[in-house]
Structure 1
Amino acid sequence: MDSYVLIITIIGLAALSMAWVPSMLEKSFISYPIIYLLIGVIIYSLPLGLPFPDPLWHETYAVHLTELSVIISLMATGLKIRRNFSWKNWKIPLQLVSVTMLLSIGTLAFFGWWWLGLAPAAAVLLGAVMAPTDPVLAEQVQVGPPDEAEEDDVRFSLTAEAGLNDGTAFPFTWLAIAMAVAAGTGTAEGWLTDWILRDLVYKIIAGLVMGYGIGRGLAYLVFYLPKSTSFPKTRDGFVALSTTLVTYGLTEMIHGYGFIAVFVAALTMSSYEEGHEYHTEMHDFVTQVERILMVVLLILFGGSLVTGLLDHLTWEGALLGLGFLFVIRPLTAYIAVFKDKCSTREKITISFFGIRGIGSFFYLAFAINEVAFADADELWSIVGFIVMVSIVLHGVTASRVMDYLDSNRRKERRERRRLRAENRSYRDE
């Protein structure tokens, strides 16, 4: 059988099933990423002659496929956020992408060096690639489409964190690359200054400026210009996908962070004509593309698990991975949010759902494609193990936890209404 025909058939069937699987699993405790991960495991366990899916041997392909998936997801994430940007509104996610991310990177890097014996550059890379909360696989704990009114603190915080830290973690991936290059060439001077000025300052500013400029320009073309001139209206959802690619490409051309630019462009566009139905149309189109790419990546990831991705995993690496998911991320996140106004149960939920996924694969593949890391095989195995556990752990618990929080909010609202009614009755008497 022609392997190409088999591949497109499998992709077609998997993508077609996405029309029903999410709805079918909506009332269950299992998330659909788990299903497609298992499909990948099963398919690659059969003698079908499919191409080898292990990213250890296809790092260039892994970079571009995961890159495309993440930027499309960032556009979808930005389009569905309805809160205007301010310190008061965005305090929790900003704390998560600063305090939590830095503590997570530092803690994981330290244990990677001290516990696993990784080289310093590889240890920093491990911390950097595991720091971002994934925007691709976190749908169950994120806010809904733009036409849904409900946007509680938990969903908003996890959605905004996923959008922000896919770009803000990039400087630390470059830090690991710079450390590896300096160690390999024996140059101990100048690299840190270059990293601060170029990778930490310039690229972030460039991403912010490009994202805001492109987002504002497109919002003007789409919403304002047709009202005052004869400029034609557009209501095509693919504009969101086009905007994603243009924003990312132009920003990368000037060596800025395209991830940041795409998310900022989406936020900027969504802030204009907030109630307009076109925001929902754009979001729905780009979400459909995102889901197709996610299905492909999950199947490939499932296949890689049974074809060698975990071959270099040691018990120490597995223990560190579990420690990251159950201790390091929850603890560092709780440190960041414990003084905020939301309830303790909401703080615990925000801290626990630091979902790892496709973004981590991108950063790791990107870094290893830039410079050779002596511990690359072990890094792939550790990252693969963490993402696998995260998909299962968070996929099984997300629906139940969010339903529990929603139920408690409804009870609290009913109780507040009852108390207000009793107070009014008491005053009337």
Structure 2
Amino acid sequence: MVLLVSWAPVGLKRLPLTLAILCVAIGVLVFSTGALSFNPDPRTWDTATERLTELVVIISLLGAGLKIDRPPGWRAWSTTWRLLAIAMPLTIAAVAFLGWAGLGFSLAMALLFGASMAPTDPVLAADVQCGPPGSGEDDEVRFGLTSEAGLNDALAFPFVHLAILAAAGGLATQTGLVDWFGVKVVWKLLAGLGAGWLIGKAIGFMLFRSRRGPSRLGDGLIALAATLIAYALTEMVQGYGFLAVFICAVVIRGFERDHEFHQEMHDFSDQIERLLIMLLLVLFGGALANGLLSSLTWTDALIGLAVVLVVRPAAGLIAMTGSRQPWRERLLLSFLGIRGVGSVYYLAYGLNHGEFGDSERLWAIVGFIILLSIIVHGVTATPLLARLARRDSSCGSPAFPAAPAPANPPRSNNGD
């Protein structure tokens, strides 16, 4: 499998097939034979599922932050703000309503279902994200999906806490709502934002301003260190670590934006991320082979199809109404809202921290939606983006705008 992961980016480049699809298929095949007695059902390994998906997501978030060439700004990131402020809440509300009215879930479980379907996954969305730092592969579609995935993994967290509050009966009490808004929304978001900025500044200074900084050693291992430091310290002050990791990466990228060491960190982070994704997806395939979808009904499947093919695309198009983006870019931004590892994490976290009752059916429909997203988006994303690139090129505008020339030449690793 490790050999396959190292070969797949080149071997699958021209095929309507992704590493995610291949890993899931291998997981189904291997575990269906009965050769392995281990059953990787997330309903059994609830704590392990939460921790493993947590680790994959934070490593992916650092990589997403390092990929973004565009400096943060209100107008420059307008697509991001639209997707976060409009598309995400609409998606949560619509999915929660479908869970409550269409599936008969309780209000708490419907809210958890909606929150777990909110994030555009930073882990499985690598094929639709920006290219490596400084590559110039940052057209509006790739940039929008990368920045959205980097931020909405944290911004959806308050809704998971709202579902946990509802499961405990706290929605009917003023104290519960005040605590939720004051702590779970305001404090945790501000703490995550502030801690990520401070840690990013500290690490960026150490890397690019210190004469003996690690950037001169060319060791990408610092990417993993930055991820764990940002996440751990932020969680210690009760902030959202997901938000801190992404902000930390964006701030680090702001130091010497065109420095070659960003590529070193990105490459190392990408390798670790692909190995962990491989493990998770093979285990996901094993869970499918061992009956993860056994509780799925035809109604559940129809709701799952609606979430992937109707709810997110409709919410995205509403969010992009009035934007300056061409219609084809709006469609792609709306359609390519991939659901994946982040959804598993939110579901596992919610079930581990709240009393929701029997969750087998919820696991089944979430698993079905993730499988559907892996297949549908995996098969269509590459040809759709390639077609957009060709069309932009034929119209005389570059599909991937070149990164601006650096104000100062990049520093070499040996300091010359």
If the length of structure 1 is used for normalisation, what is the TM-score? 0.90
For residues 368-418 of structure 1, what are the alpha-carbon distances to aligned partners after superposition, in whole Å with 9 as ceiling and x for unaligned?
111221241111111000000000000000111011000001001179xxx
* Shift of residue 49, structure 1, vs aligned partner: 2.7
Name 1:216's counterpart in structure 2.
Answer: 201
Match of 2:54 among 41, 49, 67: 67
Q: Aligned partners of 2:8, 2:37: CA distance in 1, in Å?
A: 24
Return the offset for 1:147. Answer: 3.0
Shift in Å, 1:192: 1.0
Instruction: Give 1:231 deviation, angstroms.
Output: 6.0
Q: Name the structure 1 match of 2:337.
A: 354
Name the amino acid aligned to 1:107: A
Q: Give the alignment partner of residue 256 of structure 1, picking from 239, 255, 270.
A: 239
* SS of structure 2 residue aligned to 1:20: helix
Counterpart check, 1:192 vs 2:204: no
Given candidates 360, 371, 374, the residue that maps to 1:377 is 360
Aligned residue identity for 1:145: P
Q: Which amino acid aligns with 1:190?
A: T
1:76-124 CA distance string (max 9 Å, x none): 0001101111111111111111211100101111111111110000000
SS at match of 2:103: coil
Segment drifting more, 319-328 vs 305-314: 305-314
Does the residue aligned with 2:231 lie in a helix, a strand or coil? helix
Which of the two has higher C-alpha Rg? 1
Matches of 2:379 and 2:358, distance apart in 1:
32
What is the root-mean-square deviation in Å for CA atoms of aligned residues? 1.4
- Are residue 404 (structure 1) and residue 387 (structure 2) matched? yes
Which runs of no fewer than 5 residues in structure 1 stay unpaired?
Answer: 1-13, 416-429
8 Å CA contact 2:21–2:378 kept in 1: the answer is yes
Does 48-57 or 59-68 show the bigger shift? 48-57
Name the CA shift for 1:414/1:138 in 2 (closer, same or farther; >3 Å).
closer
Cα gap change, 1:397/1:109 in structure 2, threshold over 3 Å: closer, same or farther? same
Query: Which runs of structure 2 are paired with 1:114-153 in the superposition (5 Å)?
Result: 114-153=101-140
1:234-281 Cα deviation digits (max 9, x unpaired): 421010101101110110111100000000000000111011100000
2:88 maps to which residue?
101
- Return the alpha-carbon distance in structure 2 between the equivalents of residues 140 and 271 of structure 1: 24
Matched position secondary structure for 2:325? coil
The one of 73, 77, 81 equivalent to 2:68 is 81
**Would the aligned equivalents of 1:174 and 1:195 in 2 still touch at CA under 8 Å?**
yes
Q: Which residue of 2 aligns with 1:205?
A: 190
Query: Residue in 2 aligned with 1:110?
Result: 97
| CA distance in structure 2 between the partners assigned to 1:275 and 1:188 by the alignment | 52
Task: Give the Cα–Cα distance (whole angstroms) in 1 for the partners of residues 7 and 80 of structure 2.
Answer: 32
Match of 1:4 in 2: none
- Name the structure 2 match of 1:181: 168
SS at match of 2:75: helix
Counterpart of 1:296, as a letter, is L
Partner of 1:391: 374
The structure 2 residue matched to 1:338, chosen from 321, 327, 340, is 321
Equivalent in the alignment of 2:285: 302
Corresponding letter in the other structure for 1:352: F
The SS at the match of 2:256 is coil
- Whichever residue aligns with residue 181 of structure 2, its letter is I
Give the whole-Å Cα distance in 2 for the aligned partners of 1:412 and 1:285: 36
2:305 counterpart of 1:322: yes
Amino acid at match of 1:77: A
Give the distance between the partners of 1:245 and 1:278, measured in 2 at CA: 19
1:366 corresponds in structure 2 to 349
Q: In the alignment, what sits opposite 1:238?
A: 221
- Give TM-score scaled by structure 2 length: 0.93
Aligned mates of 1:50, 1:148 — CA distance in 2: 45
Q: Partner letter of residue 30 of structure 1?
A: L
Q: Indicate if the aligned counterparts of 1:118 and 1:375 stay in contact, CA closer than 8 A.
A: no
SS in 2 for 1:52: coil
> Post-superposition shift, 1:189?
3.5
Is 1:413 matched with 2:400?
no
Which residue does the alignment assign to 1:19? 6
The one-letter amino acid of 1:152's match is D
Contact 2:164/2:355 (8 A) holds in 1: no
Structure 1 residues 231 and 317 mapped into 2: Cα distance closer, same or farther (>3 Å)?
closer
Q: Which residue of 1 aligns with 2:414?
A: none
Provide Cα deviations, 1:266-311, integer angstroms capped at 9, x if missing partner: 0000111011100000000011000000000000001111112111
CA distance in 2, matches of 1:120, 1:234: 53
Aligned residues: 397
